[in-house]
């Protein structure tokens, strides 16, 4: 394995596969539920600790991939094992390692097949980290599809009443969308292989993203072929984000998933779609991304409004938050296809923000559901008086999600709209997106009011007790981060600045190519 970082060891591989090692150890801890829980929490915290040196050794002013490591995996096919990280993936990796221990800690009350549950969460973590770090299309696809397996079981075994329907829909929907990406990957890999062979260059990097970025204009592809290739990737990512109108798996999956599953799904899994759009759709096909920025932005804006309206119409709290994800993820797509520095920065930052605030909301809903066993908004009311600590946290997470200035959501949405306004997408779409922000306040405050104020009913929401220390300890780190990002977002945007500037320049320079052809 060739390693190019200063740390002296292949830190990215370590971070990716450490969770899998933990899962294997857990397999040998059968029958020791308590010990397994503590071990899983400790181990995932260790993974987080191991991932921190990446942040501290990350060079802010370097544009390319850092901590780059590779070995020739399947030379015959032109496939390499390649991991690398830049300003775009940095925070997503850290978000993953940060959220996983919290999700594990939130699953303290899972009594059934605890070991398997914890193993699957760790395997899920491995898959997601691999997605954010893989720099070879084949490797990326393996991790991308692998993330389906643990989540499929998490929803299917530990989920709610309609879990089987939800999990099969989740799997088939995303699997069906992803296989077209496989065709795109095969086509690109073969074209690159032929091109490299023709140029007398080594062919073992045929599937490498960097090589493809450099060579794709030399393949002599027609406009239509490029568009089809773009689509093959875009559809897979659009389903994952999920973009309207391919979002329908999300509410089912979210509602039926166990709390820890919902948290991981909302906080990290959806971000894989946004990340993929930046890394592959924009980086490999900058011309098409520019040409189609407006139609895609239209879908994003429809998603923002549609998700918001449906969210308002829900009587089930978890479904309400699930539809709010559709709306919020629309902003992220809008920011990406602004294709300028501000919009992209906002999009990446908003991915983190959404991960934190929606993750917190799902945690809170899970905590109250464990006590009351109802998710009907109509059953709630007056919790302000009964469980004040819970309500404080709910207020905080709601406000962050609404986009109150001073908290994280505001910064991300502001940057996105600024970027979109300043791009060819233009002010009309941005104006509609702004309506989405107002609607977010409407439906989220409806939820908050419905839960916190009004008369309290002991009969419909019995056995309420306030958050215990463990639950506070889970929520506190999330809330602190929301506040820190809201007050000092520069710390988070600075590491990605160089990468995103380079990306913006790359996209801008790609434009004449299409005009000249």
Partner 1 sequence: MNDLTFITPEINWTVLGMPAFLMIWAMLVLIVDMFTSDRRILLTLSLIGLGVTAALGALDYGATISGFSDMLVFDKFGVLVNWILLAGTALTLLIAFDYMPRQNLSQGEFYPLVLFATSGMLFLVQSTDLVTIFIGVETLSIALYVLTGFAVPQFKSGEAAIKYLLLGGFAAGFLVYGIALIYGMTGKTNLAQIAAELSTWQSTGRALDDPILLAGVGFVLIALGFKVSMFPFHAWTPDVYEGAPTPVTAYMSVATKGAAFAAMLRFLNVAFPALKPEWQLLFGLFAAATMAYGNIVAVAQSNLKRMLAYSSIAHAGYMLLGVLAASEKGISAFTVYLLAYTLTNLGAFAVLIALENRGMPVFELSDLRGLGKRSPLLALAMTVFMFSLAGVPPTAGFASKFGIFRAAWDANLDYLAIIGVVTSVISAFFYLRVIVTMWMRDAEATEPQPTYATASLSFGVIVAVIGIIAVGILPNIFTDLAKALVLTVAP
* Contact residues for partner 1, defined by CB under 8 A: 73-77, 138, 141-143, 145-146, 148-149, 152-153, 156-157, 163-164, 167-168, 171-172, 175-176, 179-180, 182-183, 186-187, 189-190
- Going across the sheet that includes 66-74, the strands are 2-3, 66-74, 79-85
Closer CB to partner 1, residue 63 or residue 187?
A: 187
Q: What is the distance between the alpha carbons of residues 335 and 73, in angstroms, rounded to a whole number?
A: 36
Closer CB to partner 1, residue 26 or residue 400?
A: 26
Closer CB to partner 1, residue 134 or residue 474?
A: 134
Closer CB to partner 1, residue 123 or residue 317?
A: 123
Q: What is the distance between the alpha carbons of residues 102 and 376, in angstroms, rounded to a whole number?
A: 25
Closer CB to partner 1, residue 146 or residue 292?
A: 146
Nearest alpha-carbon partner for 350 in 332, 362, 326: 332
Least distance to partner 1, CB of residue 316, Å = 22
Contacts of 204 by beta carbon, 8 Å cutoff, 6+ apart: 72, 75, 78, 79, 80
Least distance to partner 1, CB of residue 269, Å = 16
Least distance to partner 1, CB of residue 143, Å = 8
Closer CB to partner 1, residue 61 or residue 112?
A: 112
Least distance to partner 1, CB of residue 133, Å = 16
Least distance to partner 1, CB of residue 155, Å = 9
Classify 496 as helix, strand or coil.
Answer: helix
Residues forming beta bridges with residue 3, ordered by sequence position: 69
Least distance to partner 1, CB of residue 261, Å = 14
| Helices vs strands, H then E, count in the chain | 23, 3
Q: What is the distance between the alpha carbons of residues 193 and 201, in angstroms, rounded to a whole number?
A: 9
219 within 8 A of 195, measured Cβ to Cβ: yes
Closer CB to partner 1, residue 148 or residue 308?
A: 148
Nearest alpha-carbon partner for 259 in 368, 165, 161: 368
| Cα distances (Å, whole numbers) of residue 500 to 58, 295, 338, 515 | 15, 23, 12, 24
- Give the orientation angle of helix 11-27 with respect to helix 33-56, to 10 degrees: 180
- What is the DSSP code string of 307-342? HHHHHHH-SBHHHHHHHHHHHHHHHHHHHHTT-SHH
Alpha helices in 425-489 (DSSP H): 426-452, 469-487
Least distance to partner 1, CB of residue 100, Å = 20
Q: What is the distance between the alpha carbons of residues 79 and 420, in angstroms, rounded to a whole number?
A: 37
The distance in angstroms from the start CA to the end CA of the chain is: 40
Q: Phi first, then psi: give them for residue 66, nearest 5 degrees.
A: -115, 165
The reply to whether omega before 245 is within 30° of 0 (cis) is: yes
Closer CB to partner 1, residue 172 or residue 508?
A: 172
Least distance to partner 1, CB of residue 115, Å = 11
Closer CB to partner 1, residue 15 or residue 155?
A: 155
Least distance to partner 1, CB of residue 16, Å = 13
Closer CB to partner 1, residue 14 or residue 186?
A: 186
Least distance to partner 1, CB of residue 74, Å = 4
Least distance to partner 1, CB of residue 72, Å = 8
Closer CB to partner 1, residue 225 or residue 458?
A: 225
At 288, list the tokens: 């098409």
CA angle 461, 462, 466 (to 5 degrees): 90
Nearest alpha-carbon partner for 322 in 362, 374, 278: 362
């Amino acid at each position: 394995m060739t390693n190019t970082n200063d740390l002296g060891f292949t830190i990215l591989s370590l971070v990716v596969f450490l969770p899998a090692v933990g899962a294997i150890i857990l397999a040998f801890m059968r029958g020791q539920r308590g010990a397994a829980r503590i071990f899983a929490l400790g181990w995932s915290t260790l993974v987080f600790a191991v991932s921190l040196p990446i942040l501290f050794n990350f060079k802010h002013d370097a544009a390319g991939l850092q901590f780059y490591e590779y070995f020739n995996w399947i030379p015959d096919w032109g496939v390499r094992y390649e991991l690398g990280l830049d300003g775009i993936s940095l925070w997503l990796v850290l978000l993953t390692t940060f959220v996983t221990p919290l999700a594990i800690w939130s699953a303290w009350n899972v009594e059934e097949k605890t070991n398997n549950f914890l193993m699957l969460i760790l395997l899920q973590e491995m898959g997601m980290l691999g997605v954010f770090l893989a720099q070879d299309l084949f490797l990326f696809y393996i991790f991308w599809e692998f993330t389906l397996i643990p989540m499929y079981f998490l929803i299917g075994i530990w989920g709610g009443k309609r879990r089987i329907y939800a999990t099969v829909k989740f799997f088939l929907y995303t699997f069906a969308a992803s296989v077209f990406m496989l065709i795109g990957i095969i086509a690109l890999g073969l074209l690159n292989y032929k091109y490299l062979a023709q140029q007398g260059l080594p062919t073992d990097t045929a599937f490498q993203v960097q090589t493809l970025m450099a060579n794709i204009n030399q393949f002599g592809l027609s406009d239509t072929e490029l568009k089809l290739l773009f689509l093959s990737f875009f559809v897979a990512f659009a389903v994952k984000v999920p973009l309207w109108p391919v979002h329908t798996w999300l509410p089912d999956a979210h509602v039926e998933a166990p709390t820890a599953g919902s948290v991981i799904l909302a906080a990290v899994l959806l971000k894989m779609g946004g990340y993929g759009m930046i890394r592959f759709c924009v980086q490999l096909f900058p011309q098409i991304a520019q040409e189609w920025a407006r139609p895609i932005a239209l879908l994003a804006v429809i998603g923002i409004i549609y998700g918001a309206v449906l969210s308002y119409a829900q009587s089930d709290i978890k479904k309400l938050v699930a539809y709010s994800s559709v709306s919020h993820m629309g902003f992220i797509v809008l920011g990406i296809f602004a294709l300028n520095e501000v919009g992209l920065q906002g999009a990446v930052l908003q991915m983190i923000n959404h991960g934190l605030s929606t993750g917190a909301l799902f945690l809170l809903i899970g905590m109250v559901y464990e006590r009351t066993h109802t998710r009907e908004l109509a059953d709630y009311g007056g919790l302000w008086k009964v469980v004040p600590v819970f309500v404080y946290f709910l207020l905080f997470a709601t406000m962050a999600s609404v986009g109150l200035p001073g908290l994280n959501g505001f910064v991300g949405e502001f940057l996105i709209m600024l970027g979109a306004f300043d791009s060819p997408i233009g002010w009309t779409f941005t104006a509609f997106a702004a309506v989405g922000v107002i609607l977010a306040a409407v439906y989220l405050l409806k939820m908050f009011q419905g839960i916190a104020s009004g008369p309290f009913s002991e009969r419909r929401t019995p056995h309420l007790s306030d958050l215990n220390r463990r639950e506070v300890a889970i929520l506190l780190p999330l809330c602190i981060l929301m506040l820190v990002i809201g007050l000092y977002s520069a710390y988070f945007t600075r590491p990605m600045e160089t990468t995103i500037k380079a990306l913006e320049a790359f996209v801008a320079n790609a434009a004449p190519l299409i005009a000249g052809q």
